[in-house]
Amino acid sequence: MSNPTELVQIIDLRPLSGVLGAELFGLDLSQALDDTTLEQVRSAFLEHHVLAFRDQDLSPEQQVAFGQNFGELDTHPFVEMNPEHPKVLDIVTEPDDRTNFGGGWHTDVTFLDEPDLGSILYAVELPAVGGDTLFANQHAAYEALSPIMQEMLEGLVAVHSAGPQYAEGGQSTKSKAMKTKNADMAGRQVEHPLVRTHPETGRKSLYVNRAFTIGIVGMHRTESKALLEFLFDHAVHERFTCRVRWLPGTLTMWDNRSVQHYALHDYAGQSRRMRRITVKGDRPR
C-alpha cells in the first residue's frame, strides 16, 4: 500500500475532518482506473474510511463497474432493487415523506452473517439545501474508551437483527417511496463480536449500532440495555465524526467495517434521490 503522504501528491485529496473523511477531486470514475490510481484510492479508503468523489457524471453501469473494483456486489434482502439494474438500490425520499431511508445512526446490514464491506452512494437528485450524511469513526470511538472498558468489551458478543427496521411496521418500512420485502424473515438474529478487528488494517473498533443491535449474549436484559445505550451514544460523539455535504455529481463510499452513518432528513417538502451499490464483506472477527 502507498504511503498516505503520497496520495496528496498523486490525487487531489482534502480531509473533511481530523478523524475521518476526505474529498477527492480530479478523477473521472466513468472511466476505468489504472492500477496505480486504483491502489491510491484503496489506500485512501483505508486511511480515511469515507471518500467523497466530486464532479462525477455516472450512469448506473459505470457506478457498478467502479464498485466491482472492490469486490463482488451485494443486494439488499429487505428492500426492492432497481428492476433494470439488479445490483442498484434507488434510495428515494419524496416531498411528503416524514421519514427517510437511512435516517438514524447505523452500520449497514449488520444483521447479515457477512455484513457488507462498504457502500457506494451517488447523488441523482438533491434538495436545494440539506440532506447531508454524517459519519462516525468506530476505531476512534473504541480507542477513546478506558483500558478497563476495552478489556471488558473485547470478550462480549452482540446480537443483531433486521426486525426493528424491516419487520411489519418497522422504521424502514414507513417510507412511501421505498418498497420493502420479506418482512416475515426480518426477525432472524445473528451474533457478532462487540469489538471488531478490521480484516485489512488490524485496527479494533466498536461494532454495535442502534438500528440493528438488540442485545448482548449472556447479559440480563437490563444490563445489556444499559451498556448498549452507553455505547450507542459514545460511538457517535461529535469528536468522532465528519459530515459529507452532497453536491451534484458527488459519489461517496464508506467502509462499513469501521464507520457508522446517518442520513439527515432536514429537507421536508423536497425530493432526494440517490443510487447505492454495496460490496460484499466477510464475517466480523
Would residue 239 count as lying in a domain? yes
Q: Is 276 in the active site?
A: yes
The Cα–Cα gap between 20 and 176 comes to: 33
Would residue 99 count as lying in a domain? yes
Would residue 179 count as lying in a domain? yes
pLDDT over 90 for what percent of the chain? Answer: 90
Dihedral (C-alpha) 189, 92, 168, 182: value to the nearest 10 degrees? -60
Give first-to-last CA distance, the chain, whole Å: 23
Q: Is 239 in the active site?
A: no
Q: Which of 48, 139, 257, 276 is catalytic?
A: 276
**pLDDT tens, position by position, 51-90:** 999 999 999 999 999 999 999 999 999 999 999 999 999 9
Q: Which of 108, 116, 139, 255 is catalytic?
A: 108
Q: Is 116 in the active site?
A: no
pLDDT at 10: 62
Q: Which of 89, 92, 85 is nearest to 62 (CA)?
A: 85
The answer to whether 256 touches 129, Cβ cutoff 8 Å, is: no
Would residue 255 count as lying in a domain? yes
Q: Is 106 in the active site?
A: yes
Q: Which of 49, 106, 210, 272 is catalytic?
A: 106
pLDDT at 221: 96
Q: How confident is the prediction for the chain on average, in pLDDT? A: 94
Would residue 73 count as lying in a domain? yes
**pLDDT tens, position by position, 10-65:** 689 999 999 999 999 999 999 999 999 999 999 999 999 999 999 999 999 999 99
Per the structure, the complete domain to which residue 270 belongs is given by: 4-279
The Cα–Cα gap between 43 and 115 comes to: 21
Would residue 235 count as lying in a domain? yes
Q: Which of 160, 198, 261, 275 is catalytic?
A: 261
DSSP code at position 84 = S
pLDDT at 173: 77
Would residue 284 count as lying in a domain? no
pLDDT at 6: 45
**What total number of domains does the chain contain?**
1
The Cα–Cα gap between 245 and 102 comes to: 16
Strand 73-74 with 133-137, pairing = unpaired
Would residue 72 count as lying in a domain? yes
pLDDT of 1 over the 60 cut: no
Give residue for cell 411528503.
96
Q: What is the CATH number of the domain that holds 254?
A: 3.60.130.10
pLDDT of 220 over the 50 cut: yes
**pLDDT tens, position by position, 89-148:** 999 999 998 889 989 999 999 999 999 999 999 999 999 999 999 999 999 999 999 999
